[in-house]
Amino acid sequence: MKGVQTVGVVGAGVIGAGWAARALHCGLDVIVTDINSGMEAWLNETVDNASKMLAKLTEGIPMPVRGSLEFTTDLAAMARCTDFIQECVPENIELKRSVLGTISSRAASDVVIASSTSGFMPTDLQTGLDHPERILVGHPFNPVYLCPLVELVGGRQTCNVARGIARKFYEGMGMHVLAVRREVPGHIGDRLQEAMWREILHALNDDIATTSELDESIVYGPGLRWAAMGMNQLYMISGGSGGARHFMKQFGPALDFPWCHMKAPELTDELIDRFVEGTAEQAGGRSIRELETIRDECLVALQRVLASHDIGAGQALNRFRERMANPNSKQQA
């Protein structure tokens, strides 16, 4: 399988545009395809915004010349002339299987095809396709251009060569690859987010808290520390001098308390309205683009601070800096 110079992105939505921006900034050429020709304008606008943030994030890192961006509505043509394909169409298994079917029948047999799926398992996506061994999941987090995490998940037929190519491709764009040991619906990150999301919907539905209060409970407390350390490490520290074992002893019994629901509440129109109206009020008249800019500037600043301590997502930025400064070092292989 050859090195990646031209990346194919299928679907020019939030995730596809994010992948395109990251790849372009890292010197790769990108061909984005979407059934909706109207998405070209959105893609260009999103890539422009993302590029400014990426420039801030990678300030001081010797970056290659930006790649070229092309847009087409012709899926098959894109598949024929790209070296790595990232699928980003909506989360619908029939749609994904149909799109992957077209791509896999047109792309060269050594082109790795990754799906951005939030929850489908790669085995369910690759079954029955041409050369299923090069199909896997590369699940990113929004915004793809700033969040370095990508969950790499192989299916029953995925080969190690394809996993290796995907890892090299993602790491070459400054990402942190989390190789998921066993495929499960929702991979790892979304299972954790989903558990919290369901609790949020229950609290909203049962009138325990507003969307704003629920968000306060995150950003002033646990959310602040999650960027540096994960839940497990933090709970160990919360155990004081007794560490993790003491923590388990103290909070273990709570597992039997009614602290959380596991099943999501019914998504009634009233609950949807409560969520929509609550978050609109929180936005205080700021547009999605304005909020996106605030989020992105915080993500850039946060990663640069984390990098100065070589912790959390800052480690991915430091590794990327080293890789770009020493392109021929072992890391690059």
The encoded tokens of residue 108 equal: 């060269």
Nearer to ligand NAD, 124 or 238 (CB): 124
Nearer to ligand NAD, 45 or 91 (CB): 91
Asked if residues 114 and 136 have their Cβ atoms less than 8 Å apart, the reply is yes
Q: How far is the CB of 313 from ligand NAD (least distance, A)?
A: 16
Nearer to ligand NAD, 185 or 327 (CB): 185
Q: How far is the CB of 133 from ligand NAD (least distance, A)?
A: 22
Q: How far is the CB of 187 from ligand NAD (least distance, A)?
A: 10
- Alpha-carbon distance 40 to 70, whole Å? 9
Binding site for ligand NAD (CB under 6 A): 10-16, 33-36, 39, 75, 88-91, 95, 99, 116-118, 139-142
Q: How far is the CB of 255 from ligand NAD (least distance, A)?
A: 30
CB neighbourhood size of 187 (10 A): 22
DSSP assignments along 100-163, one per residue: HHHHHHHS-TT-EEEE--SS--HHHHHTTSSSGGGEEEEEE-SSTTT--EEEEEE-TT--HHHH
The three-state secondary structure class of 34 is coil
Nearer to ligand NAD, 14 or 77 (CB): 14
Nearer to ligand NAD, 4 or 20 (CB): 20
Sort strands 84-87 and 135-140 into parallel, antiparallel or unpaired.
unpaired
The single residue listed with the structure tokens 């996993």 is 163
Assign 3-state DSSP to the chain and report helix, strand, coil percentages, each to 5.
Answer: 55, 10, 35
Q: Which residue is nearest to ligand NAD (CB)?
A: 13
Q: How far is the CB of 138 from ligand NAD (least distance, A)?
A: 10
Fill in the amino acid letter for 292: E
Q: How far is the CB of 130 from ligand NAD (least distance, A)?
A: 18
Q: How far is the CB of 16 from ligand NAD (least distance, A)?
A: 6
The encoded tokens of residue 333 equal: 């292989």
- Alpha-carbon distance 141 to 190, whole Å? 9
The residues near 57 (Cβ < 8 Å, ≥ 6 apart) are 146, 300, 303, 304, 317
Nearer to ligand NAD, 134 or 139 (CB): 139
Nearer to ligand NAD, 10 or 324 (CB): 10
- Alpha-carbon distance 283 to 234, whole Å? 30
H or E segment and range at residue 71: strand 69-72
Asked if residues 295 and 287 have their Cβ atoms less than 8 Å apart, the reply is no
Nearer to ligand NAD, 38 or 284 (CB): 38
Nearer to ligand NAD, 62 or 223 (CB): 223
Q: How far is the CB of 104 from ligand NAD (least distance, A)?
A: 14
The residues near 4 (Cβ < 8 Å, ≥ 6 apart) are 28, 83, 84, 165, 169, 172
Q: How far is the CB of 231 from ligand NAD (least distance, A)?
A: 20
